[in-house]
Structures are given as C-alpha cells and as structure tokens.
Amino acid sequence: MNSSFTLTKLDNVKIILKNYKPQIKKMIDFILNLDEIKKSKVFDYDISKVRFDVSFCNDKTIQKINNDYRNKNCPTDVITFSLFCDDKDSLVYRKTADLGQIIVSVETAYRQSKERKETLEKEILTLICHGILHLFGFDHLEKKDYDFVIRMQEKIIRIL
C-alpha cells in the first residue's frame, strides 16, 4: 500500500519541513505493515493508498484549536482530526483513504523534548506517530487503550 502526506506550517514556527519527510515516509511504511494496524477499519475498504496532512504551529494557535474543537483552553502537544475513522460516511476516492490531519505544537514539543532529555526531532516524530495511530482509529479514552497506543508508539519509534 502506498502513502502520501503533506507538511505545512500554520504560523511562523521555526522548523525545516524537508528534514522530516524521509522519517515520516519510513514511519508510515512501517506502520502500514503492522498486524495491529491491518485490523483498522481503514482496511475494510478496497484501498491502495492512504494520505494525511501534518501541520506545525505554535502554542497560541494550538490553544485556539484546542479551545474551539475540544473546549480545552490550553495548549497541547498534538491534535488529530480523523476524517476517516471518526466519520461513518468515510469516502474512498480512487482507492485513496484520506485519513485526516495531525497538528503539532513545535513549542510544546520543544519543552517536552527538554523535559525528556530527547532531541526535538525525536519528540516531533513521536507526536506524529501518535497522531497517525489516532488517524487509524486507535484512541485512548480508557487506560488499556492508552497503554496500547503508547506501547505501539514506543515500538515504532524504537525500531525507526
């Protein structure tokens, strides 16, 4: 199965988008071959390609998005808008499933990378991986689901 994605900046954040393209491509190719992912609702359809968008922003922008769509008036690290798994009327066009959008706050990722003593690049890739899992329908409303998502995310990042 093929994949495609776009990378954009929602505001003036300092991030070099082209540096992330090869790692995200490698990540999604790996994810698409995981047995757990193959159980996702996405694979109930006759598709040959998945696509999604990743946008980067600052804390002010993600706080507004978080408030407008989740009624939480605070910044967060990553927000996903699943167009496929959260919509019972999901469309597949030309055998392509549009999974949705991942929005990452570079400022929050930077703070978290310092707290975890990791590189900013690793933190951002971890957040994107987390977002991709959400786009495939894996949520963490319950502790066991949270543990599963974190375990998958750590496995993927460790291997890559």
Q: Which of 24-33, 66-75, 76-85, 102-111 has the lowest mean pLDDT?
A: 76-85
Q: Which of 60-64, 116-120, 121-125, 140-144 has the lowest mean pLDDT?
A: 140-144
* Higher per-residue pLDDT: 91 or 105: 105
Query: Whole-prediction pTM value?
Result: 0.91
Over range 81-109, report the average pLDDT. Answer: 84
Burial (CB count within 10 angstroms: exposed 0-12, middle 13-18, buried 19+), residue 139:
middle
pLDDT higher than threshold 80 for residue 63: yes
Q: Hey, what CATH topology would domain 2-159 get?
A: Collagenase (Catalytic Domain) (3.40.390)
The pLDDT tens digits of the residues spanning 138-148 come to 888 788 888 98
pLDDT-derived band at 86, boundaries 50, 70, 90: low
Query: What integer pLDDT is reported at residue 4 of this predicted model?
Result: 92
Q: Distance between alpha carbon 134 and the CA centroid of its chain, in Å?
A: 7
Look over the chain and give the mean of its residue pLDDT values, rounded to a whole number. 90
pLDDT higher than threshold 80 for residue 26: yes
* Higher per-residue pLDDT: 85 or 134: 134
Over range 73-94, report the average pLDDT. Answer: 82
Q: Domain extents for the chain?
A: 2-159
pLDDT higher than threshold 90 for residue 131: yes
CA–CA separation, 90 and 45 (whole Å): 10
| CA dihedral for 20, 24, 25, 30, sign (positive or negative) | positive
Over range 7-22, report the average pLDDT. Answer: 93
Alpha helices (H) in 16-116, listed in sequence order: 21-31, 35-38, 59-70, 106-116
